[in-house]
Amino acid sequence: MLRYLLAFMSGEVDTLSFLIEICVLSFVTICCLPVHECAHAWMADRLGDSTGRLKGRISLNPLDHLSLAGTIMLFLFGFGYAKPVPVNIRNFKNRKLHFGLTALAGPVSNLILAVIFIIVANIFMMLGSMNEGSTVIQIAHLFFYNVAYYNVALAVFNMIPFPPLDGSRILTMVLPDRIYYKILGYERYLFYALFALIFIFNRIGISPIGSISSFIFGLLQNTVGNAVVSIFGIFM
């Protein structure tokens, strides 16, 4: 978003594209981040830990999940976070496996949302081909296309194995407890180091998260998008 703002101010990005980007980030913040956190709480509850449910986190209300600092970071840098769902690992029968599955539920929910929004975006693309010159349809296609991409990026970002991101929790399924708990002891420092690295990489034009996200998004677009076009073509 910060790059978009600078590009907009320099005239490299038109007003419409800038407004669409703001709407996309707002939608992702209000609708997609809550789904991610709700998925964590729901999965934990299904596996035996009701801590998140009792805290009201099985909810799609953004006020139950959003973090002010994480939201600001999302708008400025394109990556951010919400309030972590509280989990009591002692309530799980299989602690390592169930803790890992609870963490995995968040990124999976974003990939499911990405598939849904790719389908919607491709439907609007097909409608646009039938109604050439319809600005509203073109804007809708671009909006849902970008929302889908941001969901893939959120899944990729959260799978980074740095505490307190979901990827580090998933490591509990494979790492010995001795090593994992030693890593947790440096959680706060690793968290700040991660954001510092991402910021530095972005400043020098290197974006590992962006590259991986683009690759995965391309695969989803090719498979899901082509399926939608094929199915839609039957009824044309």
Predicted local confidence at residue 222, as pLDDT = 93
| Residue 205 Cα distances to 198, 200, 209, angstroms | 10, 9, 12
In angstroms, the first-to-last Cα distance of the chain is 38
Q: Which residue has the higher pLDDT, 43 or 80?
A: 43
Per-residue pLDDT of 182-217, as tens digits, reads: 776 766 777 778 777 777 777 777 778 888 999 999
| Residue 30 Cα distances to 45, 51, 107, 158, angstroms | 23, 23, 17, 18
Q: Which domain holds residue 152?
A: 2-234
Q: How far is residue 44's CA from residue 167's CA, in Å, rounded to a whole number? A: 16
For residue 81, what are its two tokens? Answer: 């976070």
pLDDT band at 133; cut points 50, 70, 90: low
Q: How far is residue 166's CA from residue 65's CA, in Å, rounded to a whole number? A: 16
Domain count, the chain: 1
Per-residue pLDDT of 21-78, as tens digits, reads: 899 999 999 999 999 999 999 999 999 999 999 999 999 999 999 988 888 877 877 6
Q: How far is residue 139's CA from residue 126's CA, in Å, rounded to a whole number? A: 13
